[in-house]
Amino acid sequence: MKQMDELKPMPRKRKPNHTGAFLTGIIGVIIGALLVWILTPTDKLPQNNSVLNSDKQPSQQEQVNFDIHTDITDIVDQVANTVVGVTNLQTVRDIWSSDEMTRETGTGSGVIYKKENGKAYIVSNHHVVEDAEMLEITFDDGTKTEGRLVGSDMWTDLAVIEIDDESVENVAAFGDSDLLKRGETVIAIGNPLGLGFSGSVTVGVVSGKDRSIPIDFNHDGRVDWHADVLQTDAAINPGNSGGALINLAGELIGINSMKISQETVEGIGLAIPINLAAPIIDKLERYGEVLRPTMGVTLIDLSSIPAQQQIVLNLPNDVKEGVVVNEIMPNSPADVAGVKRYDVVVEMDGEKITDMITLRKHLYNEKEVGDTMTMKVYREGKLVEINMTLEDGTTF
């Protein structure tokens, strides 16, 4: 048999030595971490000690307080104490005991606009103070004082109230409402829903200028007057009446007067422009009333007279609008000037007269007692020009 070759041991492969490389890597990581720690500012390092000491509870976040100032907050701080609450107090009879007592019958707002000779003066709305036997004024800090009605005017819905000035710190400055622009930011301050919401602030913009709102004073279903107002979307609710509408200069540019309250209407607030209010405020403060010029006549809108009856007026076919003189007071300006019954007024001082509203607005807004007015009327189909000197009175 052939002898087997002698087995020879296979040479071993040497295993690579990883220990040195591993130690080298560990040392590199430690050195890198130390360098980062040394070079990082200490105020960037985490301060949570709960990881280092499990026996201690994590510290709470520290509360940071910020004192926020904006143009609006600064303005409100300046003018808020010029806006007051106005409470209308009247004597009422208890239905159970028949006893009479003084009770609050309504609340509104007012704006302190003048301080002089120990007295301060507040402008508010006529409908806020109407029929009041007493007026109670509530300041922004809650203190109260008695108010005295100086005078009020139904047509412009304005009133002036007088108080002692010892609690009055500052007064509102009048701005120029003619300079307002649509979209300009305005602030309304007042007491919506009563004194429980006193000093409420709402912010909006001027939505429109020179708005004309029909008003029925005696609730007979016929329009008696058109009020010229500013429209804003700043929230104005019952109780805001008489409050301030302020611009971003901190100036009073309107007296909040009313809100259109219909289910289909939202965000429409109305204010009396201060440029229209200022001369009325001055007259109320000086005279206690607004002395308005009068012609001394009673009038009827031409449009309210049936067509069959208009025949007696003998008007040209193209005359569809105007005001008919129904009665003339003896010795009145109209009587002295030669106005005749059934004259149809179509023009005053070059301004077209279409109805009693335009006639009244021309008399009340454009003319003063003692002024001379030129009026054009149709009489027996002919156009006649009449000049008259106006006097004060309570009728047209």
Give the active site residue among 157, 165, 233, 343. Answer: 157
DSSP for 115-136? EETTEEEEEE-HHHHTT-SEEE
153 noted as active-site residue: no
241 noted as active-site residue: yes
- Residues 248 and 71: their CA atoms lie apart, in Å, by 7
Give the active site residue among 124, 177, 241, 257. Answer: 241
| CA proximity to 130, closest of 97, 103, 96, 107 | 107
DSSP for 134-188? EEEEE-TTS-EEEEEEEEEETTTTEEEEEEESTT----PPB--GGG--TT-EEEE
| CA proximity to 271, closest of 228, 325, 307, 224 | 228
| AA letter at 314 | N
Among left, alpha and beta (phi > 0; psi -120 to 50; other), residue 199 is left
Q: Which residues contact 364 (CB under 8 A, 6 or more apart)?
A: 155, 292, 293
Retrieve residue 264's tokens: 């289909």
Element (H, E) at 219: none
- Residues 104 and 306: their CA atoms lie apart, in Å, by 47
Give the active site residue among 124, 126, 127, 198. Answer: 127
Question: Would you name the residues annotated as active-site residues?
Answer: 127, 157, 241
